[in-house]
Amino acid sequence: MTEETVEDRERRYLVPVARLNLAGQPDLIHLSVYQWLPAFQARATGMAICGYSTQQGALPKAKVTCPECLAYRPRYERMLAPGYRPEDDDPDVLRKRAERAERQVEQAKALAAKWHEAARRKDSAVILAGVAGDVLMAALNGVE
């Protein structure tokens, strides 16, 4: 096994894992979060992200066949990605960000319109600002 850096050890990611060999367990390959456990100085897997108990150990080359694990995969991958912020999944936070962005676009459009009007009056000192305003307005009108 290759040596992992401290940064590598902070990374958690999804790996295929085997089901428990118990009667009644569906014959599926699941996904589990693979993470470094400082107490054991080793990586370990936990339960499947669909909730089934699994055997310990990653099966990197196995094909995941559990439909529930595959359905949960995109959400888990997003949550495990470096830089993930929990509020990125909060609809209220996202709505407020969208409203703020819309206000900023409206303010920029108003500014571009002022520049355009100044250029229309043929004031040579502001012709360039007017051109910039027209370019900005065209760009903002394309923002939806």
Q: Give the nearer residue to Zn ion in terms of CB position, either 20 or 118.
A: 20
Q: How far is the CB of 69 from Zn ion (least distance, A)?
A: 3
Residues 58/16, Cβ–Cβ less than 8 Å: yes
| Span 18-37, contacts to Zn ion by CB under 5 A | 30
Binding status of residue 50 toward Zn ion by CB under 5 A:
yes
Structure tokens at 89: 């999944």
We find the least distance from the C-beta atom of residue 112 to Zn ion, in angstroms, to be 53
Q: Which two tokens stand for residue 41?
A: 């100085």
Residue 65 burial class via C-beta count within 10 angstroms: exposed 0-12, middle 13-18, buried 19 and up = middle
Quick note: the x/- pattern for Zn ion over 65-94, rule CB under 5 A, is -x-xx-------------------------
Nearest to 47 by CA among 64, 28, 34: 34
What is the distance between the alpha carbons of residues 116 and 9, in angstroms, rounded to a whole number?
A: 55
Report residue 22 as tokens. 């118990």
- Binding of Zn ion by 48 (CB under 5 A): yes
Taking CB under 5 A as the binding criterion, the range among 42-50, 89-97, 116-124, 127-135 that sits at the site for Zn ion is 42-50
Q: Site residues (CB under 5 A) for Zn ion?
A: 30, 48, 50, 66, 68-69
